[in-house]
Amino acid sequence: MKPELKERIDNLLNQNKILVFMKGNKLMPQCGFSNNVVQILNTLGVPYETVDVLADNDIRQGIKEYSSWPTIPQVYVNGEFVGGSDVMIEMYQKGELQQMVEVALAS
Protein backbone atom coordinates (compact mmCIF):
# COMPACT_ATOMS: atom_id res chain seq x y z
CA MET A 1 0.00 0.00 0.00
CA LYS A 2 1.25 3.45 -0.87
CA PRO A 3 2.18 5.53 2.21
CA GLU A 4 -0.13 8.37 1.07
CA LEU A 5 -3.12 6.02 0.96
CA LYS A 6 -2.33 4.55 4.37
CA GLU A 7 -2.09 8.08 5.76
CA ARG A 8 -5.47 9.00 4.22
CA ILE A 9 -7.10 5.98 5.84
CA ASP A 10 -5.34 6.62 9.17
CA ASN A 11 -6.58 10.23 9.12
CA LEU A 12 -10.17 9.16 8.39
CA LEU A 13 -10.06 6.69 11.29
CA ASN A 14 -8.52 9.24 13.66
CA GLN A 15 -11.22 11.80 12.84
CA ASN A 16 -14.21 9.49 13.42
CA LYS A 17 -15.05 7.35 16.47
CA ILE A 18 -17.27 5.11 14.32
CA LEU A 19 -16.51 4.87 10.61
CA VAL A 20 -17.99 2.60 7.96
CA PHE A 21 -16.32 1.98 4.62
CA MET A 22 -19.28 0.99 2.48
CA LYS A 23 -20.90 1.03 -0.93
CA GLY A 24 -22.94 4.22 -0.98
CA ASN A 25 -23.53 6.32 2.13
CA LYS A 26 -25.72 6.25 5.20
CA LEU A 27 -28.55 8.03 3.38
CA MET A 28 -28.37 5.78 0.32
CA PRO A 29 -26.60 2.44 0.82
CA GLN A 30 -25.77 0.78 -2.51
CA CYS A 31 -25.76 -2.86 -1.35
CA GLY A 32 -27.66 -5.02 1.11
CA PHE A 33 -24.67 -5.67 3.36
CA SER A 34 -23.90 -1.96 3.66
CA ASN A 35 -27.59 -1.33 4.36
CA ASN A 36 -27.52 -3.92 7.19
CA VAL A 37 -24.69 -2.04 8.89
CA VAL A 38 -26.43 1.34 8.45
CA GLN A 39 -29.68 -0.05 9.90
CA ILE A 40 -27.87 -1.46 12.95
CA LEU A 41 -26.01 1.78 13.66
CA ASN A 42 -29.18 3.83 13.12
CA THR A 43 -31.03 1.54 15.54
CA LEU A 44 -28.32 2.14 18.14
CA GLY A 45 -28.76 5.87 17.58
CA VAL A 46 -25.02 6.54 17.60
CA PRO A 47 -23.15 9.14 15.55
CA TYR A 48 -21.09 7.63 12.74
CA GLU A 49 -19.63 8.57 9.42
CA THR A 50 -19.37 6.66 6.15
CA VAL A 51 -16.89 6.55 3.29
CA ASP A 52 -18.32 5.61 -0.11
CA VAL A 53 -15.82 3.16 -1.62
CA LEU A 54 -17.65 3.36 -4.97
CA ALA A 55 -16.55 7.00 -5.26
CA ASP A 56 -12.86 6.24 -4.63
CA ASN A 57 -11.27 3.12 -6.11
CA ASP A 58 -7.99 3.70 -4.22
CA ILE A 59 -9.88 3.56 -0.92
CA ARG A 60 -12.01 0.64 -2.17
CA GLN A 61 -8.92 -1.51 -2.80
CA GLY A 62 -6.75 0.02 -0.08
CA ILE A 63 -9.13 -0.59 2.82
CA LYS A 64 -9.16 -4.31 2.05
CA GLU A 65 -5.38 -4.37 2.29
CA TYR A 66 -5.40 -2.10 5.35
CA SER A 67 -7.65 -4.45 7.33
CA SER A 68 -6.65 -7.74 5.68
CA TRP A 69 -10.40 -8.23 5.20
CA PRO A 70 -11.59 -8.94 1.63
CA THR A 71 -15.12 -7.54 1.69
CA ILE A 72 -17.03 -4.28 2.03
CA PRO A 73 -18.57 -2.92 4.26
CA GLN A 74 -15.95 -2.56 6.95
CA VAL A 75 -16.72 -1.03 10.34
CA TYR A 76 -14.14 0.65 12.56
CA VAL A 77 -14.70 1.74 16.14
CA ASN A 78 -12.02 3.93 17.76
CA GLY A 79 -9.73 3.15 14.84
CA GLU A 80 -10.01 -0.62 15.37
CA PHE A 81 -11.43 -2.87 12.67
CA VAL A 82 -14.57 -4.58 14.01
CA GLY A 83 -15.81 -6.49 10.97
CA GLY A 84 -18.35 -6.53 8.19
CA SER A 85 -22.07 -7.05 7.96
CA ASP A 86 -22.21 -10.58 9.42
CA VAL A 87 -19.96 -9.69 12.36
CA MET A 88 -22.02 -6.56 13.08
CA ILE A 89 -25.30 -8.53 13.03
CA GLU A 90 -23.87 -11.16 15.38
CA MET A 91 -22.40 -8.57 17.78
CA TYR A 92 -25.65 -6.58 17.75
CA GLN A 93 -27.74 -9.67 18.54
CA LYS A 94 -25.44 -10.59 21.44
CA GLY A 95 -25.48 -7.03 22.84
CA GLU A 96 -21.72 -6.71 22.38
CA LEU A 97 -21.92 -3.95 19.79
CA GLN A 98 -23.93 -1.62 22.02
CA GLN A 99 -21.29 -1.91 24.76
CA MET A 100 -18.43 -1.39 22.33
CA VAL A 101 -19.86 1.82 20.84
CA GLU A 102 -20.82 3.20 24.25
CA VAL A 103 -17.25 2.74 25.49
CA ALA A 104 -15.87 4.26 22.27
CA LEU A 105 -18.10 7.31 22.45
CA ALA A 106 -17.30 7.85 26.12
CA SER A 107 -13.55 7.89 25.51
Domains, in order of start, for the chain: 3-106 (3.40.30.10)
pTM comes to 0.95
- The alpha carbon of 14 is separated from its chain's Cα centroid by a whole number of angstroms, namely 13
Q: Mapping DSSP to helix (H, G, I), strand (E, B) and coil, where does residue 53 land?
A: helix
pLDDT class of 107 with cuts at 50, 70, 90: confident
Task: Identify whether the C-beta of residue 73 lies closer than 8 Å to the C-beta of residue 22.
Answer: yes
pLDDT digits (tens, 9 = 90+) for 27-69: 999 999 999 999 999 999 999 999 999 999 999 999 999 999 9
pLDDT digits (tens, 9 = 90+) for 17-28: 999 999 999 999
